[in-house]
Amino acid sequence: MFTGIVEEMGAITSLEKTLAGTRFTILASTVMGDLKIGDSVSVNGTCLTVVMRSERDFSVEVSPETLSVTTLNSFATGMPVNLERAMRLNERIGGHLVAGHVDGVGVIRSRQQDGNAILFTISAPPEILRYCVAKGSITVDGISLTINDVTDHGFSVAIIPHTAKVTTLGIKQVNDSVNLESDLIGKYVERLLQERSQLPKPTPIIDKDYLQKRGLI
């Protein structure tokens, strides 16, 4: 589990592609502090497992399934990536609850300056937009952001100068793809409501009290 507060930008130093999957090696500094083999790391919003680490970098393996549903299939040597270690339950949650399970890929449709902020409009598939609400949360490439507005085809978010400086969103341009994860709580609420609607409704007892309440007697 993550918070969507990116700790640093790392860089892809090498990648090995095989029929079984792909291994990325990532140069980093901040996240290397207590990182160990087997730990989870969010890489552009995708939860991956550390399979090797040295003093200055670590490696993760990515399955063909993950490559097919995220932007990780476009990674290349030298590319910057957003990194966050798994959250600790005894710390403040600065963003929102993020699973690191990418729901889909969005595309940046516009980027414009709005005062000191940068306003992005991002198109997204219907299965993600159904959980988007104005002033709600969404994860974009691993970054917890507040939704400004929602349309039938996408949503808009604004980032402050600090976010632009310390994450890859600062260098993202129109037509770039981004990983998206919907608000986790919204998914659970929807599921619970679906199950409740499927429960058999109790048969009413037709008695004097029932008829009086409905003005039938």
Please give the model's pTM, rounded to 2 decimal places: 0.85
99 located within any domain: no
Contact 101, 187 (CB under 8 A): no
pLDDT for residue 190 is more than 90:
no
2 located within any domain: no
Nearest to 172 by CA among 99, 62, 77, 74: 74
Domains: count for the chain: 2
215 located within any domain: no
Q: Are residues 71 and 109 in the same domain?
A: no
pLDDT for residue 109: 98
pLDDT for residue 81 is more than 70:
yes
Q: Are residues 187 and 114 in the same domain?
A: yes
pLDDT band at 210 (very low <50, low <70, confident <90, very high): low
Work out the angle at residue 65's Cα, subtended by the Cα atoms of residues 32 and 138, and round it to the nearest 5 degrees.
65
- Using a pLDDT cut of 90, give the percent of the chain over it: 76
Work out the angle at residue 85's Cα, subtended by the Cα atoms of residues 50 and 97, and round it to the nearest 5 degrees.
125
Predicted confidence (pLDDT) per residue in 108-128, tens digit: 999 999 999 999 999 999 999
Q: Are residues 114 and 175 in the same domain?
A: yes
Q: Are residues 76 and 112 in the same domain?
A: no
64 located within any domain: yes
Nearest to 27 by CA among 67, 5, 59, 63: 59
pLDDT for residue 186: 84
97 located within any domain: no
pLDDT for residue 25: 97
Q: What CATH number does residue 145 fall under?
A: 2.40.30.20
Q: Which residue has the higher pLDDT, 72 or 194?
A: 72
166 located within any domain: yes
pLDDT band at 189 (very low <50, low <70, confident <90, very high): confident
206 located within any domain: no
Q: Which domain covers residue 69, as residue numbers?
A: 8-85
CA dist., res. 23 & res. 30, Å (int): 21
Helix (H) or strand (E) holding 184: helix 184-198
161 located within any domain: yes
Q: Which residue has the higher pLDDT, 204 or 70?
A: 70
